[in-house]
Amino acid sequence: MSETLERWGSKRAFILAVTGAAVGLGNIWRFPYVAGENGGAAFLLIYVGFVLLLGIPVMMAEILIGRAGRRGPIQALGALAMDAGASANWRWLGIFGAFTVFCILSFYSVVSGWSIEFLVASVNGQFSGATAAEIGAGFDAFLASPGLLIFNHSLFLFMTMTVVAAGVSKGLERLNNLLMPLLYGLLLLLAGYAATTDGFSTALAWLFLPSFEALTPTVVLHAMGHAFFTLAVGACALMAYGAYMPEDQSLPKAAVAVAALDISVALLAGIAIFSVVFAQGMDPAEGPGLMFVTLPIAFAELPGGVVWLSVFFLLLLLATWTSAINLAEPMVVTLQGLGCRRSIATAIVALSVWLMGLLSAFSFSTLADFRPLFGRNVFELVSSIPPDVFLPLGGLMIAIFAAWVMPRTTAMQALGAGEGGYLLWRNVVRWVSIPLTFIVLLGGLL
């Protein structure tokens, strides 16, 4: 088994890559609509709490394993488990992670395809002057056209896999270095614009003044699942990025920086979206269509709105692109570990994700009533169970492995924060993150 040789070119490159993985649909599409459905500020508060207590410590656990193993997740877990005198079955955690990212990427690519379609439509001026009814009907018609969904899904997956095929430094690192600052700049512009609309203060109040009436165990489970999803933690995908981490970087500092950037993007996006939604007196609990229906309607009526709408969809596309790359990387590097060339590994992953994605694309038309489990169709299944259940479960196992199974010296060195830092991290993971994840998972499932 060979060690991974590529490395991120700098500490900054590593932070940008992990931020690129973290910032995506989760922040811009999922956070606003899930918060919208679950009471706004109360959801935000719980989710931020989970990011601090579980997200950051487990993110460190996950990256630490990759850094100590210096190879694909499955191979790294197997090798580290053997070194620790534990069972080689820990490899199954990597396989479970690969299954999780496979499911997630399959719907992720389809939804990201929507943003391509809407970006093009918005730039072409198709929303200007359209009525609310027309825009709503347009979205429904779009979802009911599998051909269009598949075209955009294919295009997005192609964009993603081309970068992945180019490799860590020539592909992933270059793109993240370019896009992340651009994305943040665009988002600040957009939030600045939102501050000039009438809905701004309502949006702030709605996001920051909690009321806890809507709170149920399921909401808490959603908030936990969301914390994992938005930080890209729990599927061994950041483990793959950790394998390329520079030798002398402090992992806790990097993890805190990424989490802060990730939360700030969700907040800025939330402020931008809800200001516009409230300015038009629309419903924040619109659901998954929030961004694709409510926003075009709201922006269409505001002066200069169509330009801002285009900026918004561009932003979304850039954010999802760097996230999708992170979802693909662990599968590709695992196949490489089995002896495939990178180009072949990329092609295999692309083809299988593309096929799986078809099931999601058809879930809005032909397969709408194909409901294999829990009365949900394929899109509903892959967009809810992997984020809400698989990620916390994977995160739990990752935390147990790093904090209980890995020998102290190996873990301490990979954390890069000295002995005190290591013990603090280990205590938080052992006595807070692990029990809390377990309890919320169990409570939510029952």
Binding site residues, ligand TRP, CB under 6 A: 21-22, 24-27, 101, 104, 229-230, 232, 235, 237, 323, 326-327, 391
In a 13 Å sphere around the CA of 245, the CA atoms on its Cβ side amount to: 31
Work out how close the CB of 119 gets to ligand TRP at its nearest, in angstroms, rounded to a whole number: 17
At 175, which helix (H) or strand (E)?
helix 174-195
Output 377 or 383, the one with its CB closest to ligand TRP. 383
Work out how close the CB of 63 gets to ligand TRP at its nearest, in angstroms, rounded to a whole number: 12
Euclidean distance between CA atoms 392 and 390, whole angstroms: 6
How many Cβ atoms sit within 10 Å of the Cβ of residue 216?
11
Locate tokens 């991120």: which residue? 8
How many Cβ atoms sit within 10 Å of the Cβ of residue 419?
10
Work out how close the CB of 327 gets to ligand TRP at its nearest, in angstroms, rounded to a whole number: 5
In a 13 Å sphere around the CA of 115, the CA atoms on its Cβ side amount to: 26
157: which 2 tokens? 């997956």
Residues 73, 66 contacting (CB under 8 angstroms): yes
Work out how close the CB of 391 gets to ligand TRP at its nearest, in angstroms, rounded to a whole number: 6
75: which 2 tokens? 């191979």
Output 25 or 245, the one with its CB closest to ligand TRP. 25
Question: What share of residues in the chain are helix, strand, coil (percent, to 5)?
Answer: 80, 0, 20
User: Which single residue brings its beta carbon nearest to ligand TRP?
Assistant: 26
Work out how close the CB of 82 gets to ligand TRP at its nearest, in angstroms, rounded to a whole number: 26
Output 323 or 360, the one with its CB closest to ligand TRP. 323
Euclidean distance between CA atoms 236 and 239, whole angstroms: 5
Work out how close the CB of 379 gets to ligand TRP at its nearest, in angstroms, rounded to a whole number: 16
